[in-house]
Structure formats: structure tokens, C-alpha cells
Amino acid sequence: MSGPPSEATLLVLDAEPPPRLGTLTGRVRIEHADESTLAERLPSADVLLVWDFTSHAVRRAWPGEGPRPRWVHTASAGVDHLMCPELAASDTVVTNARGVFDQPIAEYVAALVLAMAKDLPRTWDLQRQHEWRHRESQRVAGTRACVVGSGPIGRAIARTLKALGIRTALVGRTPRTGIHGPDDLDRLMARADWVVSAAPLTKATHGMFDARRFGMMQPSARFINVGRGQLVVEEALAEALSKRWIAGAALDVFAHEPLVRESPLWEVPGLIVSPHMSGDTVGWRDELGAQFLELFERWQAGRPLPNVVDKQRGYVPGH
Amino acid sequence: MSGPPSEATLLVLDAEPPPRLGTLTGRVRIEHADESTLAERLPSADVLLVWDFTSHAVRRAWPGEGPRPRWVHTASAGVDHLMCPELAASDTVVTNARGVFDQPIAEYVAALVLAMAKDLPRTWDLQRQHEWRHRESQRVAGTRACVVGSGPIGRAIARTLKALGIRTALVGRTPRTGIHGPDDLDRLMARADWVVSAAPLTKATHGMFDARRFGMMQPSARFINVGRGQLVVEEALAEALSKRWIAGAALDVFAHEPLVRESPLWEVPGLIVSPHMSGDTVGWRDELGAQFLELFERWQAGRPLPNVVDKQRGYVPGH
């Protein structure tokens, strides 16, 4: 990537402006776009900040006419919502929000694991009915987890679960020290008490959690998805729960978000539904904003950027 | 304590018999009592096993006529339900179930802390209404906890919270390395994000969590009680929650258990009510039974017993 032009243009795809973007005043021309204006403004942008990271507008606008930004940063860990063949084939550098969500998501997964082990959803139901019903709950120490996804988020989840005494295996695309390869997945899932999905959405991972894999889990096991909705065949999960192939599940992400009121998923027995919030702790927007400003400093100084996504693979290659 | 008589009698206060008690056949005469027959059978017992640890029958029957068992074991951590001045003044040795509940209760507290930080109760409400409403949640790493009670349960809670990155202070009756004394309690509570009550119920701790102490907590802080109900002035807690002096609370124990259907506590805003189950993980009765059998072996061999309660203080003095 060559140095920035003297009068660069930063295009921000957003509904609300990112915090402290005004500190860049005088150093870059800042323009804003929404889903309807993105295609038209893209040719004049040197940098595109995808602040509204739920939007699929980039994927739709990118293949159009004219020059394209040389750098795209998305305020998200996943890049599946913006990647298209034309962007992947281009010289444009794509960076992501690697690091911001790791610890919050790890805590969220721990919250779900413990809530299910301690039967908290039932406790709330019984409280609403004013009913005192003692139950035995489960110890998590000594149980087994299989965390799928060996990026910073998956690794943070594994660290947190291990801190609770859970024997945790990590599965990634490439086997390396402490990380299992895809060949071990079926064996690890079959003996796990907790299967946690935290993989990036790529061609290789799309629909990887299907009827066959739910079918090989233990009847006492639970499944948690904090990655991307399309990693899971949702109908297969609903069936696995209804037929009690597995004991419970929690989805924080869905193939179609927001989940519509009519979705049958809200009512699947043993399924906890949350609105894609696992990584979003108080101050997260500030952190995302500060992270972009830091990357922008480097870009303007002509220094190499961190968090560069491998556009063919669809994620930042790991260490 | 002198050695056991050649033909000793073990009296079991129970509703259901403890597991594997039959292994003692031929080595001790086993008799059973319930609340109505305990007083009459107590004089013939050498050992009393309080298996039905929710009963207050021992406290009522003990002051009666005749000889008394030389050893009383309760299948619980707390001994408040059986202690009376006559038992305290006697030569009878009292032992408890120290150790069995530590890790389960620590996990339960972690479950409550994380559930409150991640707003899970609201997630369940919204799921019932099929409502997708994204919220920001809280990170627990870096927050502060104050755990009151420095016995094995309080120490296990502190270890588990620390493993989640929570800065945790432990408060006990006697200050020692790593444990604060009662003089530090107000200061620690005032700055804590999480106050966890895991103290034994004694004269010194009865009603210790009152309006004054809830009033000094941060408005964003939460209170959790897994000790004994009478540690807390329940009306004061309900008021503190209703007036938003504090942000939330969870009670697993109550002054009167089971909590009756008419109790206003079920409906206090921001209060999680659970039925005294924090320590009761699958297999807990087996563990309690095995622990008693181990102690019984020692007693019959004339060896010193572990877990001996200081009857004046009301708990097993710590290390």
C-alpha cells in the first residue's frame, strides 16, 4: 500500500457517527454514506470505515463502476457481511476490529455455560410462578468443552472456560500446538459437554453445525453459537432440541438478524435466544472508535496496518 | 472423646435414608428418627447424624432429659439450625460437611455474577415476548467484589471470581494474610461492584446486611446471599432495590424456607430468587453420605475427627 494522498477522503458508512471522529478534522476530508448513497460515493473515497457493521451495503456496492478505496476497516470481528469476489480480488486492504470483542465474548460464553449448568432459566420461570422448587444442578469444573474457532475470540473463550476448571479443546482450521485441526472435530464434539461455535463465517464453515453433528453430541450436552448465524443449520438445531438429541443451546447470532417476531426459534424448548450482544459491553463503541483512530494514524504515517484480513480465507490469519 | 462403645447406636434424623448407610450393618446399631420421635430416641444414641439438615428438631429436642450423643454430624456447612445453649455447653462433638459445597457454591455465585453482568434475566423476558432488543452489557473483568465469609466456601468463591479477572477482597471475623477483618467491611462494601454473603450465621453476623450497609453500596452494585437468610434484613434489601440504592440482588437463602407463595420477595424488582440450591450439584447426597462414612470410620477407630465445629463461634475455625 503506497502512502496516503495529500487530501484524502474518509468515507464513513454509518447510522450514527463514530465517537471522536472530529479529532481528524483538517487531516482528512470526512464524508458519510448510508446504504442508499454508498455506491455513488465509493469512487471518491480513499478509506472506507464500515461503522454500521450490520449492513451488507458494501458487498452490494463494491462491484460497481469507478475507483475503489485502498483501505476498508470494519468495526466488527467478522468480515462476511462485506466480502465479495471483487473486493477479495482487489488490492484493497481490509482490516477488522480484532481484539475488542475477545474478553467480553469469553465472559458471555461463561455466563451461558454457568446459567445452563445451574438451571437459571428454570429458576426465573419458577420465580415468576412464586414456586419454590429445589433442583440439583451441575458442576462445570471437570466437564469438557470443545471451542470451534481458534482466533483471538475462541482462544479467549478457551482461557475463560479453563479458568472455571472446564477441560477445553480448541479447534481451528490448521492444527498447531494446543489447537486441533478439523479432522478432530467430530471426535471432540462427541465427547464434549459444551460445544461453542466462535468460528469466522467462510465457505468452509458455512452450515458446519448440521443434523449430523448435533446427532453425534451427547444427550446431556449443550451448544452455544457466538460466531455467525450461518455456521448453524438452524432447523437442524431446533429439531435436535425438540427431539432431545442435546440438552440445550444458546444462540446469540442468527442467519437473519434481527430475528423476526414470527420466527419459531423464540419458542424452541431449551433454546436461549439473545440479540447478537455477546461482545457489546459498555464502552464498546468507544473502543471501536479508538481502535480505528489508532489504525488511521498508522495509515496516514504510511506504517503497516495490523488486523489485516486474509480476503481469501475471510479472517485475520492467526499466530 | 473416649472410644466408641462396643455396641454403639447411630441415630439418623432423616426423611430418606442416606446412601450406603447399609455398609455399616453389623458395626453399629442404626436407628431412625423424624421430628416427632427425635426427643424420645436421643438418650439411646451414641452418634446423631443430622441428615435432614433443614430440620430444627435437634435444637428443640436437645435440652430434654437423659443422656445425649457424644458426636453429632450434620450434612450441611452451617450449624445454626441445630445449635442451642445446652448443646454448646455440652461435651458433645459437632462436625459439619465442610468441603462438599465449596466448589459448587463458588460456581453458582459466578453464574449469578455473570448472569447479572450480561443481563440474562432481561434476555429471558424479551425472548418470551419474541422481542429482539440489543443492549450493552458489562464486563466483569476489572470489577471489584467483596466476599464476606472466609471459610472454605468464601475462599472458593474468591478464587473463582479472581479467575474471572474480578478484583476480590475476602472479609472474615479475624484479619489474617489475604483476609480482611470486620473493620474493613464498610469501606470494601462501599467500593464493591459485587457483595457476596457467604458467612456462617452467628450472633455476630445476624442481620449484618441491613439498610445502613445497603445504603453505602454503589447504585450500580449487586448483592448476593448464599450464606443464611438471617444474615440479611430482607425488608431492607427489598427497599434498597425498590428505591434503586443498588442495581440488583440474588438470594438463594431466606429467613423462612421454603419461601411461601405469598412472600413479597418473589416480586421485588431486580431480585433473583432461587430455592436454596447453590451447593447442591448432581451427586451431592452421595458426597455427603461418603463424607459421613469416612468420619464414622475414624470415630470408630478412636481417631480424631476433622471438621469439628467451634460451638461457641458456630463454625469450624479456619486456616
Q: How many CB pairs under 8 A join A and B?
A: 140
Question: B141 and A275 in contact by Cβ < 8 A?
Answer: no
Q: Which domains does chain B have, with CATH numbers?
A: 9-100+283-300 (3.40.50.720), 102-273 (3.40.50.720)
Between A52-56, A206-210, B220-224, the lowest mean confidence (pLDDT) is in A52-56
Q: Is B187 a catalytic residue?
A: no
H helix intervals, A131-255: 152-163, 185-191, 211-216, 234-242
Question: A281 and B111 in contact by Cβ < 8 A?
Answer: no
Q: pTM, whole model, 2 decimals?
A: 0.94
Question: B132 and A280 in contact by Cβ < 8 A?
Answer: no
Question: B115 and A114 in contact by Cβ < 8 A?
Answer: yes
Kind plus residue range of the DSSP H or E element containing B49: strand B47-50
The mean pLDDT of B156-182, rounded to a whole number, is 97
pLDDT the model gives residue B7: 82
Kind plus residue range of the DSSP H or E element containing A142: none
Region of residue A307 (left: phi > 0; alpha: psi -120 to 50; beta: else): left
Pairwise CA distance, residues B104 & B107, whole Å: 5
- Indicate the SS3 state at residue B132: coil
Q: Select from B108, B124, B160 the Cβ nearest to the Cβ of A121.
A: B124
pLDDT the model gives residue B142: 97
Q: How many CB atoms lie within 10 A of CB B181?
A: 13
Pairwise CA distance, residues A316 & B283, whole Å: 44
**pLDDT tens readout for residues B81-138:** 999 999 999 999 999 999 999 999 999 999 999 999 999 999 999 999 999 999 999 9
Confidence of residue B319 (pLDDT cuts 50, 70, 90): low
Residues whose CB falls within 8 Å of the CB of residue A26, separated by 6 or more in sequence, listed in order:
none
Position A273 pLDDT exceeds 90: yes
Residue B138: closest CA among chain A residues belongs to which residue? A281
- The residue assigned the cell 485441526 is A181
Which residue, B112, B78, B103, B86, is CA-closest to B205?
B78
pLDDT the model gives residue A4: 55
Provide the grid cell at A10. 474518509
Residue B126: closest CA among chain A residues belongs to which residue? A274
Pairwise CA distance, residues A31 & A116, whole Å: 46
**Planar angle of CA B142, B143, B146, nearest 5 degrees:** 130
Contact with chain A for residue B136, Cβ under 8 A: yes
Residue type, B306: P
Q: Which of B144, B276, B285, B313 is catalytic?
A: B276
Pairwise CA distance, residues B167 & A48, whole Å: 40
The mean pLDDT of A12-20, rounded to a whole number, is 91
**pLDDT tens readout for residues B7-43:** 899 999 998 889 999 999 999 999 999 999 999 999 9
**pLDDT tens readout for residues A189-211:** 999 999 999 999 999 999 999 99
Residue A258: closest CA among chain B residues belongs to which residue? B132
Between A21-25, A267-271, B1-5, B276-280, the lowest mean confidence (pLDDT) is in B1-5
Contact with chain A for residue B274, Cβ under 8 A: yes
**pLDDT tens readout for residues A117-168:** 999 999 999 999 999 999 999 999 999 999 999 999 999 999 999 999 999 9
CB B130 within 8 A of CB A261: yes
Mutate to test the interface with B, among A130, A143, A276 (most CBs of B within 10 A): A130
Residue type, A29: R
Average pLDDT over chain B, rounded to whole? 95
Question: B280 and A137 in contact by Cβ < 8 A?
Answer: yes
Rounded to the nearest angstrom, the minimum Cα separation between A97 and chain B is: 17
Provide the grid cell at A271. 433454546
**pLDDT tens readout for residues A84-108:** 999 999 999 999 999 999 999 999 9
Question: A115 and B110 in contact by Cβ < 8 A?
Answer: no
Position A240 pLDDT exceeds 80: yes
The mean pLDDT of B199-203, rounded to a whole number, is 96
pLDDT the model gives residue A1: 46
pLDDT the model gives residue B119: 98
Instruction: Give A-chain residues touching B224 at CB under 8 angstroms.
Output: none
Contact with chain A for residue B44, Cβ under 8 A: no
Confidence of residue B1 (pLDDT cuts 50, 70, 90): very low
pLDDT the model gives residue B16: 85
The mean pLDDT of B72-88, rounded to a whole number, is 96
Position A60 pLDDT exceeds 90: yes
- Indicate the SS3 state at residue A108: helix
Position A6 pLDDT exceeds 80: no
Instruction: Give A-chain residues touching B139 at CB under 8 angstroms.
Output: 103-104, 107, 281-282
Residues 279-298 of B with CB under 8 A from A: 280-282, 284
Confidence of residue B5 (pLDDT cuts 50, 70, 90): low
DSSP B30: E
Count how many Cα atoms sit within 13 Å of the Cα of residue A167 in the half-sphere of its side chain.
Answer: 8
Provide the grid cell at B122. 432481561
Rg (CA), chain B: 21
The mean pLDDT of B205-227, rounded to a whole number, is 98
Pairwise CA distance, residues A81 & A59, whole Å: 7
